[in-house]
Structure 1
């Protein structure tokens, strides 16, 4: 289904859309706007997936028993070694 609507753009945005249509990147201004909206939808879905993954990881870590924790020496030793590099050892 297609919905007809009226949109207003700044001169800058209108010129950009017009140039993309003239370059053949998009068939029409409507196609360019639709592509931008699709990208916004994808971005939002990716952001939501990332936030959900972080929330799941936080929940999993919160459920980890204290006896399974590792101390800071063990946690940061690999990172420290990587930052120092082979010549700094």
Structure 2
């Protein structure tokens, strides 16, 4: 289903949009806007997936025994040794 709507753009956005249509990148301004919205939808899906992955990693870390934690001192010890020898 197609819905007709009215949109307002800044001169900059309108000129860019019309240039893309003139170049043949998009058949119409509507198809360009639809493509941009599809990109926003994809970005949102990727962001949600990333947040879910981060949340899972945090949950796994919370459930890990304390003996598996890396202390702040140990975390950079090898890097600091390498810097000192260079």
Q: How does 1:17-56 map to 2 (within 5 A)?
A: 17-56=17-56
Structure 2 stretches lacking a partner, 5+ long = none
Q: Distance in 2 between matches of 1:81 and 1:15?
A: 56
Structure 1 stretches lacking a partner, 5+ long = none
Q: Which secondary structure does the structure 2 equivalent of 1:2 belong to? A: coil
Q: Distance in 2 between matches of 1:10 and 1:31?
A: 18
Match of 2:68 in 1: 68
* TM-score with structure 1 setting the length: 0.81
Q: Which secondary structure does the structure 2 equivalent of 1:4 belong to? A: coil
Number of matched pairs:
86
Task: Give me the CA root mean square deviation.
Answer: 2.1
Q: Distance in 1 between matches of 2:45 and 2:17?
A: 25
* TM-score with structure 2 setting the length: 0.84
Distance 1:81 1:56, change over 3 A: farther
Give the drift of 1:81. Answer: 5.9
